């Protein structure tokens, strides 16, 4: 016992000394503050971060809305400080006015590097600029725009609409109306089309004739798993933990490594096959256009293609899922769109003309120099689906199967997917027969 007390008396002074100076250092260091958010001297905002990690989007939105400046700051020991803003002036300053001062940075790029390499979605400076210029040039060509339209129209006519007709009890599906996860269907539609546009490969996530049992894509599964797990790195409150797991090859990092290996192997097979193809000059997909220039390595081409996939995999699917959910409570708007195929009145002026909102207030397609190159492609997809669906069908959301009193929860991912999907029943309009 005496030796125990002696040891404690020996250790206590250095412990107190280190604790005192650590507290002084943390207190003196400039840290962001947030209206209504308490920061602890040693733990910073870690307790609040952990307590609200399951509702991160709702939590940060509440803090941003409650702040006079419409922004929140946070700091956690072992992590970099951060600012989350909903102020349009801040967004414009970052994305356009002072764009060069706000790169993605080594920190963010390092988290995605093993998945996306240094493609357009995960690069800065000259490396980003040459890819942006080349991609922008290709996306401005009429031949690519026509190819996008053809791909979308074929997917809608041959797969998407037949699937909805079967779900409505028509078209050889046995006559029974089934509950359909519309978000899953839209994700499959989006992945088929972006794969065709990006590198001329049809993963058949939706099958011809709308038979879901015939639709399989291991590539879609691996890509989705890799994307979701990699994004989880950004939410780890202790930044070094994912690096340790990666080094030890355990937990989620073990799954990430396997998924990324599968995705890279699949993409590289397509890149190498395309290089050997004699008809590369006659193809319209993005990969073939870059291969034809004969300026890039296989790895660079792989990274370029994967950047397009991550941008287009679920963006339109998520947007359309929320659109159909909102529309289910506004039959008057659904009727107007069916009659005239026009936008919801949120974006219409008193004269009925479309009035686009500031991209710095509704940053759906980003803004400034990094404005989404696939914006027009997304509009083609969304308009084609909305017009075709509302012309022929009525979409009834099955609110009883949605947790939270029929209001879907968000999934914190690159896009705001619905947690648990969007269960719907499809009814075919009488005039469609």
**Which parts are annotated binding residues for heme?**
372
Distance separating alpha carbons of residues 90 and 344, to the nearest angstrom? 28
Extract the annotated binding site: 372
Residue 329 token pair: 């409570």
Pair 417, 180: CB distance under 8 Å? no
Residue 138 token pair: 């290709």
The C-alpha angle 76, 81, 84, rounded to 5 degrees, equals: 110
Residue 93 token pair: 């300053």
The C-alpha angle 111, 226, 423, rounded to 5 degrees, equals: 125
Q: Phi first, then psi: give them for residue 203, nearest 5 degrees.
A: -80, -10
Distance separating alpha carbons of residues 111 and 28, to the nearest angstrom? 29
Residue 158 token pair: 């041959």
Cβ-count burial 307-318 (b if 16+ within 10 Å, e if not): bbbbbbbbbbbb
């Amino acid at each position: 016992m005496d030796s125990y007390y002696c040891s404690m008396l020996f250790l206590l002074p250095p412990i107190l000394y280190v604790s005192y100076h650590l507290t002084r250092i943390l207190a003196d260091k400039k840290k962001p503050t947030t209206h209504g958010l308490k920061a602890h001297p040693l733990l910073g905002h870690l307790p609040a971060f952990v307590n609200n990690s399951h509702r991160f989007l709702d939590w940060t939105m509440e803090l941003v809305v409650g702040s006079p400046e419409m922004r929140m700051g946070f700091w956690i020991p072992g992590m970099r400080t951060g600012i989350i803003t909903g102020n349009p002036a801040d967004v414009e300053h970052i994305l356009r006015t002072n764009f060069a001062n706000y790169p993605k940075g080594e920190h963010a790029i390092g988290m995605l590097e093993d998945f996306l390499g240094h493609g357009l979605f995960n690069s800065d400076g000259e490396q980003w600029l040459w890819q942006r210029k080349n991609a922008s040039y290709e996306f401005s060509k009429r031949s690519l725009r026509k190819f996008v339209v053809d791909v979308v129209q074929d997917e809608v006519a041959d797969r998407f609409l037949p699937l909805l007709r079967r779900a409505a009890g028509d078209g050889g599906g046995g006559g029974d109306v089934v509950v359909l996860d519309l978000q899953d269907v839209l994700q499959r539609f989006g992945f088929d089309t972006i794969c065709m546009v990006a590198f001329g490969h049809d993963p058949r996530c939706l099958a011809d004739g709308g038979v879901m049992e015939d639709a399989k894509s291991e590539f879609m599964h691996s890509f989705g798993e890799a994307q979701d797990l990699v994004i989880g790195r950004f939410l780890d409150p202790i930044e070094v933990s994912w690096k340790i797991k990666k080094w030890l090859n355990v937990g989620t990092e073990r799954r990430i490594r396997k998924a990324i290996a599968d995705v890279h192997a699949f993409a590289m097979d397509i890149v190498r096959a395309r290089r050997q193809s004699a008809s590369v000059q006659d193809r319209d997909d993005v990969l073939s256009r870059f291969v034809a220039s004969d300026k890039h390595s296989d790895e660079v081409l792989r990274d370029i293609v994967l950047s397009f996939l991550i941008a287009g995999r679920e963006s339109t699917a998520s947007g359309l899922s929320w659109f159909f959910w909102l529309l289910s409570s506004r039959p008057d708007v659904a009727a107007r769109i069916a009659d005239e195929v026009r936008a919801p009145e949120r974006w219409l002026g008193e004269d009925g003309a479309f009035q686009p909102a500031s991209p710095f207030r509704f940053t759906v397609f980003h803004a400034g120099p990094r404005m989404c190159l696939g914006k027009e492609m997304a509009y083609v997809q969304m308009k084609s689906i909305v017009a075709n669906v509302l012309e022929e069908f009525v979409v009834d959301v099955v609110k009883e199967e949605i947790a939270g009193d029929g209001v879907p929860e968000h999934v914190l991912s690159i896009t705001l997917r619905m947690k648990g999907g969007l269960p719907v029943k499809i009814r075919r309009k009488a005039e469609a027969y």
